[in-house]
Amino acid sequence: MISLSHVTKLYGSVIGVNDVTVDLGAGAYGLLGPNGAGKTTFLGLVTGQLRPSIGVVRVFGERPFCNARVLRRIGYCPASDLTERSATPREWVRYLVQLSGFTPAAARRLAEETLEQVGLGEAAGRPLSTLSKGMRQRAKLAGAMAHDPDLLVLDEPFDGLDPVARHELVTLVRTWARSRSLLVASHLLHEVEALQAGLAVILGGRLVASGSVHEINQLIDTLPSEVRVVSTAPRRLAELACRCPEAEAVRFVGADAFIVDTRAPRLLADRVVEAANAEGILIRELVPGDRSLEGIFGRLVQVHRGVAP
């Protein structure tokens, strides 16, 4: 469905995406990466707003840039806020559907149905400027979905939503993606996990990993990591930790802490806790590796560069 072959996008001397090669078949995918990683550029290439500087982008087997056949099958919800002030969601969605080639009557019907679907039925007649950010986000989503595309591309779609609205929209998008394809860009792993989508991880314009959430988690677990332990008996506990087959090296940090190098941080942490319980040692702090998104990205980059296996 989406195929990028050695695609690089340059903005002058700034690299948007760098030598990306990926094939995504029909289905749901999450494009994960921190801010500035190149997600929006990737989506811009897929949705035909941008031309690659090098390489070839194909969507549904064709180059998408200004290609009406491809664009007719894509729905795109950008990350930027909708600052159209005077129009109402009803007028806005109807306008977009008409731009997709539908008659005014069909556009009216599709707009009403989709606004109802995203939970904006009652607020559809209010000017966009009077709506909350979450409601404007729903209006954007309705605009992307109303013409019933085969591929829905969403850029940070749940930004600014409260947890209830987030849950509702995740459910809506997940239901929608059962019968059609979905590509969601996000910097939050749990958002993509909630969509039960495959993952492509992008960082610094490079695609550093792709696969299912389970595969990515497995990959992350095989990367060199650290477990930091603060306890009342650090030397004894370090000795016990050394007996675990997952421990690769131990070093002391200060008087009451030590760090264990491992490739299985979660498993090692469990073993250290078990050993401490058996010996009656109090653990004050146990941090099983850097589980922050930046930490994970950093380690995936190491894999990508061949620094780590």
Partner 1 sequence: MAVASFQINRLLTPPRLALAAIGAAFPTAVLLAATKARGGALDTDLGAILLYFLVPEAVCMLGLLVTICPVVADELERGTWVHIAVRPGGRRALLLGTWLAAVLWTGVVALVGLLLAVLAGVIENGLILLGPFSVLVCLSCIGRAALFSLPAVIIPKRALVASVGVALVVEYLAGLIPAVVNQLTVSLRLRTLLVRFMDWRRNMPIQLQLLVDDRPPWAQVAAVLILAVVFLTIAVAILEWRQFPPSEES
Q: Which residues bind to partner 1, rule: CB under 8 A?
A: 11, 16, 40-41, 44, 47-51, 66, 68-69, 71-72, 74, 76, 78, 80-87, 91, 95-96, 98-101, 104, 107, 140, 143
Q: Which is nearer to partner 1, 57 or 296 (CB)?
A: 57
CA 176 to chain centroid, in Å, comes to 17
Alpha-helix residue ranges (DSSP H) falling in the chain: 39-46, 68-71, 89-99, 104-117, 133-145, 163-176, 189-194, 213-221, 234-242, 265-279, 293-305
Element (H, E) at 309: none
Shortest distance, CB of residue 304 to partner 1, whole angstroms?
24
Shortest distance, CB of residue 183 to partner 1, whole angstroms?
13
Q: Which is nearer to partner 1, 49 or 217 (CB)?
A: 49
Residue in this structure with the two tokens 């007719």, named with its chain if needed: 72
Shortest distance, CB of residue 113 to partner 1, whole angstroms?
18
Shortest distance, CB of residue 62 to partner 1, whole angstroms?
12
Q: Which is nearer to partner 1, 51 or 305 (CB)?
A: 51
Distance CA 82, CA 78 (A): 9
Distance CA 301, CA 220 (A): 11
Shortest distance, CB of residue 181 to partner 1, whole angstroms?
15
Shortest distance, CB of residue 82 to partner 1, whole angstroms?
6
Q: Which is nearer to partner 1, 8 or 98 (CB)?
A: 98
Q: What is the DSSP letter of 281?
A: P
Distance CA 54, CA 57 (A): 10
Shortest distance, CB of residue 189 to partner 1, whole angstroms?
22
Q: Which is nearer to partner 1, 101 or 160 (CB)?
A: 101
Q: Which is nearer to partner 1, 145 or 272 (CB)?
A: 145
Q: Residue 233 class from Cβ within 10 Å (0-12 exposed, 13-18 middle, 19+ buried)?
A: middle
**Which residues, other chains included, contact 248 with Cβ-Cβ below 8 Å and sequence gap of 6+?**
224, 260, 261, 262, 263
The three-class DSSP label of residue 68 is helix
Distance CA 185, CA 155 (A): 5
Q: Which is nearer to partner 1, 76 or 258 (CB)?
A: 76
